[in-house]
Amino acid sequence: MIKVDISNVWGQLSLPDLLAVEQEVAAAHETLTNGTGDGNDFLGWLDLPVAEETEEMKRIRRAADRIRSNSDVFVVIGIGGSYLGPRAAIELMQGCNHNIGKGRGNPQIYFAGNTLSTRAWNELQRLLEGKDFSLAVISKSGTTTEPAIAFRALKWLLERKYGTDEANRRIYAITDPAKGALRQMATEEGWETFVIPPAAGGRFSVLTAVGLLPMAVAGMDIRQVMRGAFEAKEQYNRVRSFENPVWLYAGIRNLLYRNGKTTEIMASWEPGYKMMGGWWQQLFGESEGKDGKGIFPVSVEFTADLHSLGQMIQQGERNIFETMIRFDAPEQVAVVGSDVKNLDGLNYLAGKQLDFVDEQAYLGTLAAHVDGGVPVITVEMGELNDAKLGELFYFFELCCGVSAYILGVNPFNQPGVEFYKRNMFQLLGKPGYEK
């Protein structure tokens, strides 16, 4: 199990405070698993993890093998929940620079359709020049503007390069099983398709083909990802007490919120975690931020951001708490070297493992922030591997569902997202959106 350490929140909260919310946490977890709360038609994600490999997963692996063998580059088109999960997974497991040195047999993976930037589009076109490529287009609704524009342009590039028949063999659509423009196009053009279950909302869809196809193309073992998620589903739904880290995390963050801590900073110590921070931000932000309520989720990367936001965290407005994510050190160690001249004065660290230095930075930061009045929750992940990744996804999804019900909001809708779209469509003159 993932470990949630709350020993660094006690300056601000007490054990009786925690025990006082136990019934609320229990009720929220019941509401979620019994399907009696608001948004209960979007609970399909709860049972996505399975012990045995499904036919859909086998098909995903076959498609991934095909893409790996015939493409130098794989472009994944999507936005929000149809984008953040796969990118987070790949960057956490393989690093932000995972594309370096990749090509046929292990294609580079780029993400598109998550911006309207012309510069980003021009850059992608340059990256694709002279390359064999395939596309995955991910959209549950099938009508989201950003991915639809990117897909139209990339499909055109693909058709121009290969002709219509081969282009159609290189397009994979991940969408609703029956509804939407993308489903209709896929049926008409004969693209291979994978399903986003109607009962799994976008930000809870990473354990469907949305996340699994890109992960498999990146060479990850999606059976292990699912195994970890399945074990998480079994364990974290069985234990109904504060021995369950889901209860601790969901309960404590709500208690802190009630005590004026309206911003949660998720701090990781791995550059590869940055997009995972983005996935978590969307999961909690879109699920909880409504009805005038919600903890504002912000993600940072230490030690880099200690040199930017560190000052604010240490001495700014005291409305924040931190959740620090820690992983075990990797097997391959790095050691600080010795230098005869020692002009940089670093010889006091010579022979020390880099991870030891990182650990002291973590402990020093933790103590400083707690002294500065910032309660810190530490999430100890243990070893980082494909199964742990699956566990982590399910863990945070479950925490989010429980936490939002404690907060008293529907975790599974996002009515606020429509406002910018309505204005944009009006300005763009989309039929049906006239003033």
274 Cβ contact list (under 8 Å, min separation 6): 91, 96, 268, 299, 301
Which of the residues 263 through 292 are near ligand PA5 (CB under 6 A)? Answer: 286
Smallest distance, Å, CB 433 to ligand PA5?
17
Q: For ligand PA5, which residue has the nearest CB? A: 202
Question: Closer to ligand PA5 at the Cβ: 37 or 39?
Answer: 39
Q: Determine, following the binding rule CB under 6 A, whether residue 140 of this chain makes contact with ligand PA5.
A: yes
Question: Closer to ligand PA5 at the Cβ: 202 or 251?
Answer: 202
> 422: part of which helix (H) or strand (E)?
helix 418-428
Is-contact 392 402, C-beta < 8 A?
Answer: no
Of the candidate residues 81, 85, 107, 390, the single one contacting ligand PA5 (CB under 6 A):
81
Query: Which among 119-127, 140-148, 309-317, 383-391 is the span making contact with ligand PA5, rule CB under 6 A?
Result: 140-148
Is-contact 375 256, C-beta < 8 A?
Answer: yes
Order of all β-strands in the sheet with 192-195: 108-112, 73-77, 133-138, 171-175, 192-195
Give the residue from 117, 62, 55, 114 showing the smallest Cα distance to 84: 114
Question: Is 435 considered catalytic here?
Answer: no
> 358: part of which helix (H) or strand (E)?
helix 354-371
CA 120 to chain centre: 21
Catalytic residue among 264, 286, 301, 322: 286
Question: Closer to ligand PA5 at the Cβ: 82 or 268?
Answer: 82
Question: Closer to ligand PA5 at the Cβ: 201 or 297?
Answer: 201
Of the candidate residues 12, 108, 134, 139, the single one contacting ligand PA5 (CB under 6 A):
139
Question: Closer to ligand PA5 at the Cβ: 278 or 390?
Answer: 278
Binding residues with ligand PA5: total (CB under 6 A): 14
Tokens describing residue 119: 């510069």
Question: Closer to ligand PA5 at the Cβ: 203 or 223?
Answer: 203
Q: Determine, following the binding rule CB under 6 A, whether residue 12 of this chain makes contact with ligand PA5.
A: no
What are the backbone dihedrals phi and psi of residue 8, each rounded to the nearest 5 degrees, phi first? -100, 20
Write the interaction track for ligand PA5 spanning residues 174-213; mark x where CB under 6 A is met and - where it is not.
Answer: ---------------------------xxx----------
Write the interaction track for ligand PA5 spanning residues 229-248; mark x where CB under 6 A is met and - where it is not.
Answer: --------------------
> 164: part of which helix (H) or strand (E)?
helix 164-169
Question: Is 286 considered catalytic here?
Answer: yes
Q: How far apart are CA 285 and CA 411, in angstroms?
A: 10
Beta bridge partners of 193: 173
Question: Is 331 considered catalytic here?
Answer: no
Catalytic residue among 243, 307, 331, 435: 307
Write the interaction track for ligand PA5 spanning residues 385-414; mark x where CB under 6 A is met and - where it is not.
Answer: -----------------------------x
Q: Determine, following the binding rule CB under 6 A, whether residue 85 of this chain makes contact with ligand PA5.
A: no
Smallest distance, Å, CB 144 to ligand PA5?
3
Residue-wise burial string across 310-330, b where 16 or more C-beta atoms lie within 10 A, e elsewhere: beebeeeeeebbbbbbbbebe
Burial (CB count within 10 angstroms: exposed 0-12, middle 13-18, buried 19+), residue 2: buried
329 Cβ contact list (under 8 Å, min separation 6): 353, 355
The catalytic site residues sit at 286, 307, 421
Footprint on this chain of ligand PA5 (rule: CB under 6 A)? 79-82, 139-141, 144, 147, 201-203, 286, 414
